[in-house]
Amino acid sequence: MRTIGALIFPDFELLDVFGPMEMFGLLPDLYDLHLVGLTVGAIPSKQKIAAHATLNTQDDPEFDILFVPGGMGARSVMADPALLNWINRAAAKAEYVMSVCTGSAILAKADVLDGLRATTNKMAYDWVVSQNDKVHWQPKARWVEDGKVFTSSGVSAGMDMALGAIARMHGTEQANEVAKWAEYTWHSDPDHDPFAVVHGLV
């Protein structure tokens, strides 16, 4: 059983969190899921649907998997030194670290991605890359795996990354079973990234 701590903050992107959590949550004997906020309670997403954080970062929780989404609220997170410090500490202690979309900008600002390959939402690519020049940013990738860190492209790409992470931890057959249960067509090639072309990055 691995614990997953998914950070949520005002204006987080809804699918960034709940797409991957659906995939992990289909394996309840393997993953214990938690939403973590600056405070406990309801936190509104960019889509105005609120999610309930049951843990707060001020209590300094630790997780086997630290999960960081993106969204318009990422900019506020990146301006909060205390929160960035918690992310850095939690990432150091975690077995795996994962981000979706502009969540990689948060990880980069927290110095979690220094020296690693990573990717992000291709629409926001230039802005994200400007946050940290110590990261080896990949302009064409659905998701990137470097050591214990997984980063994905925008929004729906997080589900493909989550299945990729499940495949690493439990095998491709298990990941395919999860995709089947979710009735989801898994883009299992991490280099399949049509949006890099759409946004003129390649």
| CA–CA gap between residue 9 and residue 37 (Å, rounded) | 6
**pLDDT digit string (tens) for 89-131?**
999 999 999 999 999 999 999 999 999 999 999 999 999 999 9
**What domain count does the chain have?**
1
Q: Quote the crossing angle between the two packed helices 14-25 and 157-170, to the nearest 10°.
A: 30
CATH number at 153 reads: 3.40.50.880
| CA–CA gap between residue 5 and residue 61 (Å, rounded) | 8
Task: Supply the pLDDT for residue 65.
Answer: 98
Residue type, 95: E
**pLDDT digit string (tens) for 22-57?**
999 999 999 999 999 999 999 999 999 999 999 999
**pLDDT digit string (tens) for 75-91?**
999 999 999 999 999 99
Residue type, 74: A
Indicate the length of the chain as a whole number. 202
Q: Residue 160 — pLDDT band, cuts 50, 70, 90?
A: very high
| CA–CA gap between residue 158 and residue 110 (Å, rounded) | 20
For residues 57-68, average pLDDT: 96
For residues 3-11, average pLDDT: 98
Q: Which domain holds residue 62?
A: 2-198
DSSP string for the chain: -EEEEEE--TTB-HHHHHHHHHHHHT-TTTEEEEEEESSSEEEEBTTS-EEEESEEGGG----SEEEE--STTHHHHHT-HHHHHHHHHHHHH-SEEEE-TTHHHHHHHTTSSTTSEE---GGGHHHHHTT-TTSEE-SS-SEEEETTEEEESSTTHHHHHHHHHHHHHH-HHHHHHHHHHTT------TT--HHHHHTT--
123 is catalytic: no
Selecting among 65, 90, 97, 101, the annotated active-site residue is 101
- Is the Cβ–Cβ distance between 27 and 62 less than 8 Å? no
Please count the CA atoms within 13 angstroms of the CA of 25 that sit on its side-chain side: 13
- Is the Cβ–Cβ distance between 149 and 169 less than 8 Å? no
